[in-house]
Amino acid sequence: MLSPVIPKFQTLELGPGLNRVAPNFTTLDHARQCWSLESLMGERGLMLGFIGDIWQSVSVRRILWLERHAHTLMRGGVNLGLLICDQPHMLYGFYVSSPTPPPFPLLADEKRDIHKMFNMMQYPGMVMIDRQHIVRHKWLVPDDRVWPRIQDLLDVTENF
């Protein structure tokens, strides 16, 4: 039996439509603070990540990678938010157990409603949204990869 083809980093068929307005949403973070698309937005845009359960080893690796590179993106005026398919109290447990808490909100998407709104149910990934709330780029990432290279992310943000 043939195994399904998994996209490497980007595909036009899956995920949110490029050059379309991103759907608005509200959700709670690890501290039960309410966030919306607008409140997450940086002066030049938003890098929104989508992952599964917070305690999966691949999710932990992705969070640690984002922690390490968050300031590079944020210095360029791009904020980060990470949507995780868990309840706020699970995200809080991760947050307080981390030796260096993430400098970005861990956002609860327990019922995967926001994942569905962005059509990000099948694979973890990242979506780059500009200040006008337009989806400018997306990456779908298979489980054997953490995220795209930081330089690939920075190259996209330079075009805003």
pLDDT tens digits, 90-137: 999 999 998 888 999 999 999 999 999 998 887 799 999 999 999 999
Strands ordered across the beta sheet of 135-140: 106-108, 78-84, 45-51, 125-130, 135-140
pTM: predicted TM-score of the whole model, two decimal places: 0.86
Alpha-carbon span 86 to 111, nearest angstrom:
8
Query: What does the pLDDT read at residue 14?
Result: 62
Regions of the chain where pLDDT drops below 70: 1-15, 160
Which DSSP letter does residue 19 get?
A: T
Domains of the chain in sequence order: 44-157 (3.40.30.10)
Q: Can you tell me the distance from the alpha carbon of 99 to that of 88, in angstroms, rounded to the nearest whole number?
A: 19
